[in-house]
Structure formats: C-alpha cells, structure tokens
C-alpha cells in the first residue's frame, strides 16, 4: 500500500481525512503537525487525535524559529499588509507546505494530502508550494468529495472518530495572528461578540495604566523590547501579550479571497500591528522620500504575492533583495505609547536618521531662507499656466 502524508491539525476536517484516505483512496496515512506557534494544547491535541484515529506514524515538527526569522521578519521589513490587515495564515501556509513536502520525500510517500475546502485560500497556498517542491500527487478529500461540515460529522461518527462539540467559530492560530470566522460572524452587520476574542482585550477590559514601550530594530527587524534582547519567537510573543493587554490588534474586515468571494474576517494580531507600525515609523526617519514612496509599491506587491500563495515566486525573492538593501539603515529605537486601544508613536532615534533638527529649527539661520524665493516663484508653473489660459 502506498503512503500519503497528511497536513494534520486534529480538527474535524483533517481527522475525517485520515479515514477517507485509508478507506476511499487506499493509502497508509502519515500525519504531520507543523508547529508555527499555535497554542500548546492544540499541538498536543493533534498528537493525541492522530494516535486515536490510527495514522501509521505521526510527526510534530517545530518550525517556530524558522517561521519567525524567515517569514515574519521578512513581512515586517516589507510592511506586509493586505487589504488592511497583517498577513498571518497566508505566511504560515507556504512553510507548512515546504515541511510537508520534505517529510513526504523522507518517507517515500506517493501523495500529499490536506483538509482544505474548495471555497478558501489555503488550497492555493498549500498546493502551489507543494507542486514547486515535489512531484507527489495532491489529494484534497473534503474538496474532491464536496463534503459539508454536517456530512463530515456524520462520516466521523460512522468511523468512530471522537470529535468534540462543534466550535462556535473556525479558528486558525499561529505566532503572528489569530483568524476567527464562521457562525454569526458571517453576517457583516453583527458586531463580533466578546467571546470571539482571546488575545486582544476590549477597551473596557484593557489595562488602565499607560505604557511606554521601546522597540529596538536592527537592519529592519526587531531585536529588543525595553532593552531586553529576545529570540525572534519570544519577542513576538511578548509584543503580542503587551499590545493585546492594551486592546491593540483586533481587526474586522471584508476580505477578497483568491477565488473572488468576499468574506467577513475577524483577526487578532497585536504583535503584527505593533511591530509593523513601529517599523514604518523608523523607516520614515531613515529612508528618503523616493524610497518611502517606492516602499508602498513594494508592500502592496509583496502582500498580494503572499496572500495569493505565491511565496515561492521569484518576484518575492527579488523584492526581498531590494528590501534587504534598504533595511540596512532601518536601525534604531522607536518609542510607542499604549493605552486603552490607542497606540501612538511618540519617539524615534537612529544612527542613520535623515532628520536634521538644527536645520529644520525655526531658530536656524545657516539655511538662508531667501534662497527659496526663486524656487517658490516657479513652483507649480504648469498648473498656473493652465488655470490662467485654459480653465473654463
């Protein structure tokens, strides 16, 4: 019997996939959970579920450090924001696809499987990466059999798969963010209830005390919080805790999926919102006006590539080269004020600062103001000529 490696979370979709792959597709199933910062009990749940359902082998692969350094830090340097939110799930999927592909090669598996439906984005993200790395057959049982959630639950019961009560919401969580969807959240006129949020406190429940936080960056990536140097994943977790306790990082948007559907999405991403905004503030001090303008184009292009599952596209690698070159000067400290859902940049300093306090001061005479007369006189000359001669 041929082997298949299944990207496994322990939830309903992937649990059902184990038995479907065995019974309907005639495969021996190897399950693998890739740790990209989801809750520890979710990791343990996937291991326990795999054992109970009966996969022939289960792997838990720790990819937290790689995720933080090679994906999240690149997203910070690129200011990766898609339609108003920092990417989280989209950044994790190519890494999971890469790890699953490597495992399939190691195990000599003929196929790779996932539990994605045919309505979402993840099918594109997983499969694009897998096809770029292997020649394995790709199997998506939920999509291929056109199963609904109720049909999946029926099948699970028929196979003796223990599935807990339906969760109110569908949750995807990693180091960078928490995506919440489904149930009443599908109605865009319904305010997300308090119980949908775990990481970010409401403004009522947020800490009463104002906190001034200093974030140190080197070459565009954060390295320390309040002078405490931390490993990338630990730094991100600390930022998430601090910002979340101050009510920073909840997002409610209508999002455009790859296939063209609009969906209502709720996100919690306190670390991402804090770090990207602090990073942009430092860029404004250290990069030129033309660089900053081009950064907006880079950010938009980069974010769309990631969202659309094209992490492996050579353009993303090309953009990283350009970004890395500019980020050599994005080094320094940003001071952020956090209080009751409010986040303000209140200070910044860098050895590569282009801000010249002595010249910009109203008390400076070194820069002769009279030299501006000719420049101002001819400024907007084409618009002036149009208004005088052609405007009706």
5, 32 Cβ separation under 8 angstroms: yes
**Segments making up each domain of the chain, as ranges:** 3-172, 196-349
Reduce the DSSP state of residue 373 to 3 states and report it: helix
The residues with which 335 forms a beta bridge, in sequence order, are: 214, 347
Q: What would the two tokens of residue 110 be?
A: 């003929």
Mean pLDDT of 11-21: 94
Q: Which residues contact 225 (CB under 8 A, 6 or more apart)?
A: 213, 214, 215, 216, 235, 238, 239, 242
pLDDT in tens, 340-390: 999 999 999 999 999 987 766 666 677 788 888 888 888 888 898 889 899
**Alpha-carbon span 143 to 37, nearest angstrom:** 27
pLDDT in tens, 255-297: 999 999 999 999 999 999 999 999 999 999 999 999 999 999 9
pLDDT-based confidence at 321, cuts 50/70/90? very high
Handedness of CA 231, 234, 240, 246 (dihedral sign): negative
pLDDT-based confidence at 234, cuts 50/70/90? very high
pLDDT-based confidence at 64, cuts 50/70/90? very high
Residues serving a catalytic function are 13, 93, 122, 170
Most confident of 83-92, 235-244, 357-366: 235-244
Q: What is the pLDDT of residue 166?
A: 61
Mean pLDDT of 30-42: 94
- 3-state secondary structure string across 78-132: CCCEECCEECCHHHHHHHHHHHHHHHHHHHCCCEEECCCCCCCCHHHHHHHHHHH
For the chain, what's the residue count? Answer: 392
Handedness of CA 38, 275, 303, 99 (dihedral sign): negative
Q: Which fold has domain 196-349?
A: 3.90.1260
CATH numeric code, 3-172: 3.40.50.620
For residue 139, pLDDT over 90 is answered with yes
Among the listed residues 284, 294, 293, the one whose alpha carbon sits nearest the alpha carbon of residue 322: 294
């Amino acid at each position: 019997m041929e082997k298949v490696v299944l990207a496994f979370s322990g939830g309903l979709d992937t649990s059902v996939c184990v038995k479907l792959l065995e019974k309907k597709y005639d495969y021996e199933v190897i399950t693998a959970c890739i740790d990209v910062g989801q809750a520890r009990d979710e990791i343990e749940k996937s291991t326990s579920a795999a054992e109970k359902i009966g996969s022939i082998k289960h792997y838990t692969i720790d990819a937290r450090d790689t995720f933080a350094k090679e994906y999240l830090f690149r997203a910070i340097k690129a200011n990766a924001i898609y339609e108003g939110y920092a990417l989280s799930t989209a950044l994790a999927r190519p890494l999971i696809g890469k790890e699953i592909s490597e495992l399939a090669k190691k195990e000599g598996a003929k196929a790779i499987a996932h539990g994605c439906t045919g309505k979402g984005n993840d099918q594109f993200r997983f499969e694009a990466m897998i096809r770029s790395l292997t020649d394995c057959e790709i199997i998506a049982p939920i999509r291929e059999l056109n199963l609904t959630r109720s049909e999946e639950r029926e099948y699970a019961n028929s196979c003796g798969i223990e599935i807990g009560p339906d969760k109110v919401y569908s949750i995807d969580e990693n180091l960078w963010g928490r995506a919440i969807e489904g149930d009443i959240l599908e109605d865009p006129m319904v305010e997300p209830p308090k119980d949908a949020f775990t990481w970010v406190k409401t403004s009522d429940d947020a800490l009463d005390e104002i906190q001034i936080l200093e974030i140190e960056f080197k070459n565009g990536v954060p390295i320390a919080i309040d002078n405490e140097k931390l490993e990338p994943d630990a730094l991100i977790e600390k930022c998430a805790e601090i910002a979340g306790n101050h009510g920073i990082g909840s997002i409610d948007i209508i999002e455009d999926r790859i296939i063209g559907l609009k969906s209502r999405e709720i996100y919690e991403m306190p670390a991402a919102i804090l770090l990207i905004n602090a990073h942009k503030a430092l860029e404004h001090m250290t990069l030129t006006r033309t660089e900053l303008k081009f950064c907006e184009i880079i950010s938009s292009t980069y974010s769309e590539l990631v969202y659309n599952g094209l992490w492996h596209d050579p353009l993303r690698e090309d953009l990283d080269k350009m970004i890395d070159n500019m980020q050599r000067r994005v080094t320094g400290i940003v001071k952020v004020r956090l209080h009751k859902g409010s986040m303000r940049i209140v200070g910044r300093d860098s050895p590569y600062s282009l801000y010249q306090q002595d010249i910009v001061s109203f008390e400076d005479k070194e820069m002769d103001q009279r030299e501006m007369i000719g420049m101002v006189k001819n400024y907007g000359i084409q618009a002036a000529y149009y208004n005088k001669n052609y405007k009706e």
